[in-house]
Every structure is written in structure tokens, then in C-alpha cells.
Homo-oligomer: A and B are copies of this chain.
Amino acid sequence: MNGPPPNSRVTFLPTNRQVLVAAGTTIIRAAREAGLHINASCGGIGVCGKCRVRVEQGSVAGGISERLTPAEQELGIRQACTAQVSGDVTIRIENAGGLRDGRLESGVPERHRARMQAFDLGELREEGGFTCPVAKFYLELPHPDQGDRQADAGRLLRTLAEQHGERQVMISFAVLQQLPRIMREDDFRVTVTLERPVSRRFRTRLLHIQPGNRAARNYGIAVDIGTTTIYAQLIDKQSGRVLAERGDYNRQLSFGEDVISRILVAEQPGGLRLMHALAAESINGLIEAMLEEEHLDRDEITSITLAGNTTMTHLFLELEPRNIRRSPYVPVSTMFPPVRAADMDLRLSDRCMAFFYPAVSSYVGGDIVAGVMSSGMYRTDKLSLFIDIGTNAEIVVGNREWLACAACSAGPAFEGGGILHGMRAGEGAIDDFSLDPVTLEPMIMTINARPAVGICGSGLLIIIAALFECGVIDESGRYLHGLDTDRVRPGGSGWEYVLVRAEEAGIGRDIVLTEVDIDNFIRAKGAIYAGVTTLLREVGHAVGDLEQVILAGAFGSFLDLDSAMTVGLLPEIEAANCLYLGNGSLMGCRMSELSNRIRRDVARTARRMTSIELSEVPAYKDQYMASLFLPHTDGSLFPKAAERRRLTIDRRSAPFRSSRTR
């Protein structure tokens, strides 16, 4: 999730634009970062040979093929799609599409990704909130003698209160049974593990006792149970640091991609048990790998915090999910008590506690609550929009005073579903794109620079935004006919744009974007935007009141903000006011592992989140209908996008249009 730091400076000539990127970044990606277009129609795999650039200062790694003559190589000519940044470098873009003489700088905007929200451990420590829900304490107990005959247990509790101020502690039988032996093993020096209650009103539990001082070895695990992927982190609870991080497909995936199909499986005899076992197996695999990597004993893991959507949580906890998919959509529970991890078939010690993020409703789950926690929106004054886009988009609006949430079914377009060449964000998926506004030639980038095989969600957004901004499609998502390019053509499902020609594609046929694809995309983004506006209206606000947008989930991390605002997926807001959370669910789990105050806030926050069922708000349908345009029926909501589009289209009609080289 965290790549190497962006510390190589790439200067592009003739525009003189500069960009900081990480070593290993391809020149074509760096150019795109800088807002520069380089024709590259093969997806950046070196076969089209169109993306030649010249290294003028410094050097790059790779970028050489038989398509370059030795003389060209000598001159510093490289293929931008395969040349990698290895330090500060100055690059001249030889054939920079419509960018010659730098007049079109604003035509290919920089990618505005939301800035990353990081969990500020230092702040928590300063505020005194760094008190793990499961913590260890070293104690030196007074020896029993004739003047002090207190029982072992009482002696321990008294000393805990005296030396650490921990009171109202309850000892389990498992611990009582070991107590006399362990207390005497290292001469009444012991380390105890305490589970703090989520509410100060309740009791702390003494989970474990060990001889000697082992307080420094206290580890926890954070787990985000995604429908598709499960991520886990191994946390040093002493320092707060993440020691290891792993992700793996949710093994339930072979029984269906979405929550509904999993619920259907769970409704079969033995199905719930199976879904539970598969999730547990996935998590155990991740834990195993991390423990091995860090050479940790599983007994040193004292707690694990998990979050997932309501269905994932129900399946993992073996709670009947059947009513989640049946009107009126009632989950078994939204709050989940702490439980021994081993009781949930996690291969951890008998003492290890498992905590679960509470949910709000059947379709706003613990992952969203965790995201809201890690975003900090539950304690900000700013009116914030939190949005996690997937098949279902979860939306939260509010601030420290109030929170309202809703889920809307966006359909699978953002995950590649319902799109002719749509696919998940895997190798060969087109994930970035730019369009020469003059020639309408594409710059295609694929994941891992493999031959293009399809379009992933974030690529789809960028492509449609670019096509719209360059006037290739109109407000209703129809291709304009008569444009001076053979890439726009009639196809099997209405008109289409050829992104990659068969000879350069990894699938042996043209990769195209059809009008049906665009329709599906518009319905998806329309559902989300309508969800946002409806939710805001329900609480007496409008999109213009938003002071902050927080993007969560895998899709959010690749979301180009300008594209999202161009198509009307997100309301227009300054990029500076957009935050990208990364895996907010996982971050929320980590925060809870480290801070019982946060865990307390979690419970309060989940209770505060008012769930609104969009399908029951009459205005939602109207909002949805109004959103089925690019960017929206009411164009005045997206003034900047309109301005960008006007400027871009203007370019095509400008005098130098004839100067196109290809």
C-alpha cells in the first residue's frame, strides 16, 4: 500500500514542468503526473514505439528496444513507456501531441488525487489516548507474610491499583488457576495482560499472567474483511508501529463476488459454517505469514480488531445473514461483543481477544464506521462527505455534531462489471489514460505495464472524463459523429472509441469503450451523486456546503478527482479539501488496537450515525434522474468542469490544429 517515497525530480521540456516521483516510475507515468500527454497506444509496453522521449540530463533505466537505432540510443532517445526514473532527470518530449509550444498546458491537467490521510500516532500519544484496549503491565508484588495474608488474587489486584491505577479488574478462572505458580516463578514479579472495557463503567478483565517482565512484548492485529480482499496488519502495541502488512483474496470469493451471493450460500445447510471457515482460513493465512515474517510467537498477539461490511461481519461471526437481503433488511446485530479469537477459529492464543467494529445497518457496516474513525470526520468541525465506492457505495455526511449515512447500489461498473471490456484492477488493466485533444490519440497506461486486456474502474472514469472533456462524447454519453479520427466508429453496441487496437492489445482484438458501457457508467455515478445530494438534503444541506471530501476504499485510492468532478461522480470541491484514506477500515482497526479512547469513540460514533434508506426518500429518484447526465442536468453545479471542457474543445478548433503530426 505504501510504495517508495517520491523523491526523484523529473523535468519535462519544452514545457519545463516538473514532478516528483518515486524511483522506478516509468517516464510515461511521470509525464501523466505532470499533466503531459505522450501518444502511447499500446498501453506502455513498448510495442507501438510511439512514445519516444529524449533524456537531456541525468539518466533513466531501460526504455531501449530494437525499435530504437543505436544512433538514437546514443542521442538519449528512449521509449517513455518502459524507461524508469532512477534519479533526477530532464526529459524532452519529442512528439508531445498537441502540446507543442506549451500553449495547451491546461489541456491535460495534472492528476489530482486526494492527499493521503495518515493516522497520527504522535498526536494520540500527546493527547494521552495511546492506551491499548489490551495492555500489559509489569508488577512487583509484595511477598505474603504474617502481616499480609491477602490471597494471591487480591494481592495482584491491590498491586495493580497501587502501581498502575488499574481498578475494577476481574480475573478469569483460567488465570486464577495459574496464579499461585506464576506469581512464585520469578519471585512475585509478573506481567499481566488486561482487557479494558469499551466503557469506563464496566470492568477490566485480567486475561493473562506471565512470570517476570514481558510488558514490552505486546502485539496486535488489524484486519479488514473485504468482500473481495482481506487485509491484515501486525502491530507493535508498544510503539504503535505496523510491523507487517498482508492482503489476500477472501476465500469466500469462489462462492460469489458480491455479498448477496455469499448470503445465498450461507442460507444453504452448512453454508454459514463454510463462509465462516473460509473467512477464518483467509485471516489465519495472513496472520501466519506475518508472524513468520516477524519471527513472532502467536502467544504474543494479545488482541485482534476486525472490520468488514455487515454481511462479511455476520458471515465471519456465524450470524445468520438471511434478513440482510430481505426487506426490511434487518441484520442480527450491529454491535458485537468482544470474544476470544480462538472461539472464532482464529489460530491465536486462548487469551487473545477479538474486537469487531460495530455496524450501523445492513448496508453501512463496520468497515465504514472504521473509515469514519480513521478519517477523523467524527471529530472535525468541517462538514464532511465520506464516500466508499464499490458495487455498493456507502456515503456518510456530517461532522463532530452529527453523522448521517446511506448506502446506494451503484452497480458493478466501478469494478468492471457491465462494461464490455471492463475488468478488476489486475495486470493489463488500463488504469490511466489521456487524450490528445487535437488528434484524439490516446495515451494508455496499464497496470504493471502489461499488454492491455481491459479497463478497470479508475481507468474507466478517466477515459470517460477525457472523452467528455475533449468533446468526443456529449452530455448524455453519446459519441459525436464526424470527428476527425478513426478511433470513434460505429460498433456492435452503438458507437465506440477504440482504446487499443487488436495488434497492440493483449486479447487479440480491439479494446473499445461502447455507448452501452458509458450508459452503465453514468447510471452508476448518477446513483452515487444522487445518494450524496439526497443524504445532504435530508439533513438540510447542499453539496455547496461541503468543506471536505474523504475517499475510502481501493477505488478511492486511484480516483482522479478532476475526472470524478468532470463526469459528476463527486461534487466539485478543491483538491486540497479531498482526503484519500487508503484502507480506512484497516486503519480504523489499527487505531482501535492502539487506543481504548478511540474504541470508546467508535461505539459512540456508530450509535450517532443515523442511517437513511435512500429508496424511501421520494426525492432520491428525482436526484437520480437529474444525475444521469455528464456531469449533471444542472450544469451550474460543476462550473470548473464546464470551464475545463470549454477550453479543451476550443483547442480543437484553434488554428494550429493543422499542425497535428499524426
> Given the interface contacts A177-B320, A317-B176, A616-B146, does A151 sit within 8 Å of B327 by beta carbon?
no
Query: In the bound complex, do residue B203 and residue A153 qualify as a contact, i.e. CB atoms below 8 Å apart?
Result: no
What is the bound-complex CA distance between A270 and B401, given in angstroms? 60
Residues of B within 8 A of A173 (CB): 317, 336-337, 339, 343
Question: Nearest chain B CB to A41's CB is how many angstroms away?
Answer: 51
| 1/0 contact string of A351-362 vs chain B (CB within 8 Å) | 000000001011
Contacting residues, chain B, for A144 (C-beta < 8 A): 323, 328, 330
The chain B residue with its CB closest to the CB of A334 is B151
Q: Which of B149, B177, B331, B362 contacts A361 (CB 8 A)?
A: B149
**Chain B's nearest CB lies how many Å from the CB of A293?**
31
Among A145, A203, A616, the one with the most B-chain Cβ atoms within 10 Å of its Cβ is A203
Contact B332 A179 (CB under 8 A): yes
* Complex Cα–Cα for A201 and B319 (A): 29
Q: From DSSP, what is the main secondary structure of chain A's interface residues? A: loop
Contact B335 A153 (CB under 8 A): yes
CA distance A155 to B146 in the complex (A): 55
Q: What residues on B are CB-neighbors of A339 within 8 Å?
A: 173
CB closest chain-B residue, reference A181:
B320
A180 is contacted by which of B327, B332, B359 (Cβ under 8 Å)?
B332
* Interface: A170 (CB within 8 A): yes
- The answer to whether B149 and A335 touch across the interface, beta carbons within 8 angstroms, is no
B611–A172 contact, CB under 8 A? no
- State which of B171, B332, B333 has its C-beta within 8 Å of the C-beta of A337: B171
The reply to whether the CB of A281 lies closer than 8 angstroms to some CB of chain B is no
Q: How far is the CB of A411 from chain B (nearest CB, A)?
A: 23
A152 at the interface (CB under 8 A from B): yes
* Shortest distance between the CB of A192 and any CB in chain B (Å): 14
Q: Report which of B329, B334, B337 forms a contact with A154, defined as CB distance below 8 A.
A: B334
A172 surroundings in chain B (CB, below 8 A): 337
Q: Which of B152, B318, B613 contacts A333 (CB 8 A)?
A: B152
Question: Quick one: given A173-B317, A335-B154, are A180 and B322 in contact (CB under 8 Å)?
Answer: yes
Min CB–CB distance A373 → chain B (angstroms): 20
Residues in B whose Cβ lies below 8 Å from that of A201: 168, 201-202
CB within 8 Å of B: which A275-327 residues: 317-320, 322-323, 327
Residues of B within 8 A of A334 (CB): 151, 153-154
Q: Which B residues touch A146, using CB under 8 A?
A: 327-328, 613, 616
The answer to whether the Cβ of A150 comes within 8 Å of any Cβ in the partner chain is: yes
Closest residue on chain B to residue A362 by CB atoms = B149
Q: Which residues of B contact A171 (CB under 8 A)?
A: 333, 337
Given contacts A176-B317, A177-B319, A319-B176, contact A330 B152 (CB under 8 A): yes
> In the complex, are the beta carbons of B202 and A318 less than 8 A apart?
no
Give the shortest distance, in Å, between A410 (CB) and chain B (any CB). 21
Q: Are A332 and B145 also in contact (CB < 8 A) when A173-B339, A181-B320, A318-B177 are? A: no
- Cβ B151 vs Cβ A320 within 8 A: no
Which of B148, B202, B318, B332 interacts with A203 by CB under 8 Å? B202
The answer to whether B153 touches A333 (Cβ under 8 A) is yes
Shortest CB-to-CB span from A324 to chain B, Å, is 10
21 residue pairs A–B, Cβ–Cβ below 8 Å: A146-B616, A149-B362, A150-B330, A151-B331, A151-B359, A151-B361, A152-B323, A152-B330, A152-B331, A153-B335, A154-B333, A154-B335, A168-B201, A171-B337, A173-B337, A177-B317, A177-B318, A177-B320, A180-B319, A180-B323, A180-B332
